[in-house]
Each structure stands twice: as structure tokens, then as C-alpha cells.
Amino acid sequence: MDATSQKRYAVVSCHVEQPFDDRAWAAFTRLQERRPGGFAVAALMRPPDPAAGEDADRWLARAREAAARAPLGHHTHWTSPTHARPTGGDDPGARVLREGAWLREWGLEPTLFCGGGWYTDESVAAACAELGYVDCTPRATRPSYLAPEAPWAQLAAPARIVVGAVSLLAVPTTRTIGDLVRAVWRPSGLTEAVVHVYLHDTDLLDARRRAALAVCLRALGRRRRPADLDAVASALAASAPEVAWADVARGRRSREGAQEPLTQ
């Protein structure tokens, strides 16, 4: 594939956590339409939360708009719209399966997944495999705000993660906006073969962060071949090395009712 014929390329995704915030949505729409640096920004969208009274019809309309512009992904918040990681109760993988079934019931076909607050466990990974997702939850480095025992997954490069009898293609997230600002101008600042930059939709409400992102994505597009996550996944599906779940899992599953950090 032309978009992924070079081994050193870059992709961009956005965690759309506030899809009902009109200002955030407008800013995200502009980013997808303008494609700074030539990047098709994947929308990893949090489904509406019925317990919070969120409007499913409005959400579906916006998800379809995003899917028409770039790859669409599923982003789960287990506790509430503003609290991403689980705090006990329901099995995390079961929620992913329920949300995934709901999305398909309404004609959406997300291809990507990322757990809110970078949360994942074996049940979540298995659910993603069952739904046919490409997982972007693994991180190249540990998020600094997580407690030492908090569950997350570490992966430096794309791989197929073996979970029980199934496997799950993962394209790890490697760079925050701040990481990109610090790295993109240095000749040796981008060491990974696959640069995966992520942001939150709420980052786009800050004019300085919005401007820094646009400038850095244009610079990144000159240093790496821009691609979208679906094209990358298609190109890597047959050649990605296999790794065991135990080799990427970090921390441990939280005790029921234990408090986790707010979404980051």
C-alpha cells in the first residue's frame, strides 16, 4: 500500500471524550477537515452514557460525520463520562462487548479501540479481539499519573497480542502532544519506527495547544510518511510479530470499588 510502503510512518488519533460539547466538537471537526501535515485524524469516540442522560441520536449523527472523514474507533469510559477507568462492579470486557454490539446495531463499524485512562485487562483485550478491533490502548511508556499497581499495557511497536485462543492486532500509542513538541524538531527525537500521536478533543479548546499541534503535525509530516490507522493496520496485519498477553500486561486489576484517577 502506497500510504504504508515506508517502514517509518506516523498516524494520529483523537480521544473524543466530550462529543456533546459543541465547542470541542467544532474544533475536532476542523482538525479532521484540515488534516494538518496530511494526517487523517482517527476519531476514537466514547459512546453515549444512558445513565448520564446523553442523547444517542445526536451522538450517532456526529459519529457518522467523523466516520466519513477518517477511521472511526470505540473509546470506553467505564465509570462515567468524566471518569474513565473502572471503579468496580461490572466486568470491563462485558461493557466493551455491549457497547460494540450497540454501535453495530446502529450501522457503525468502528475498527479501532482505546480504553479510557489507558485501562485494559485480559477481558478487555479478549473483547476487542472478538469485535475485530485494532487496539490502540497499549502505550510505549507508562502514563505518569497512574498508580504503580494500576492496570495498563506496554508495547513499543505494532504486534499481534495473543490472548488465550485468540489474537489482537495492536498499534501502540507513542506520543502525546507534549512529547511531539519536544521531539519533532530534534534529528534524533523520534526513535520509534511507527509514531502514533494522540490528543483529546478538549485539548483543541486551548488555542496554544491547538496551534502547537498543527505546527508539529506539519513538521512530522515532513519527517514521516503520513498514514491513517486503518491503512497501517491493513499493511501490518500479516507481518506483525506475536507477543503473549503476559508480556505486555502491567499492574494489576483494581479491587472492586477502588478509586482510579480521573480521565487523562
**CATH number reported for the structural domain that contains residue 76 in this entry:** 3.20.20.370
The domain of 101 spans 7-250
Residue 218 falls within a domain, yes or no?
A: yes
Give the C-alpha separation, 16 to 25, whole Å: 8
User: Quick check: 223 pLDDT over 50?
Assistant: yes
**Does residue 70 lie within any of the structural domains?**
yes
Global confidence as pTM: 0.92
Q: Is the residue at 243 inside a domain?
A: yes
- pLDDT tens readout for residues 40-49: 999 999 999 9
| Domain contains 264 | no
pLDDT for res 32? 98
| Residue-level pLDDT at 252 | 77
- Please check whether residue 138 is in contact with residue 153, taking contact to mean a CB–CB distance below 8 angstroms: yes
Residue 222 lies in a domain: yes
Measured at the CA of 31, the angle between CA 106 and CA 152, to 5 degrees, comes to 65
Q: Does residue 165 belong to any structural domain of this protein?
A: yes
- Is residue 169, in this structure, part of any structural domain at all? yes
* Percent of the chain at pLDDT exceeding 70: 93
Q: If you search the block for the grid coordinates 519536544, which residue do you land on?
A: 182
pLDDT at 253 over 50: yes
The total domain count for the chain is: 1
**Confidence category of residue 88, pLDDT binned at 50, 70, 90:** confident
Average pLDDT, the chain: 92
In a domain, 257, yes or no: no
* Rg value, the chain, Cα: 17
- Tell the residue number behind the cell numbers 488555542, with chain if given: 207
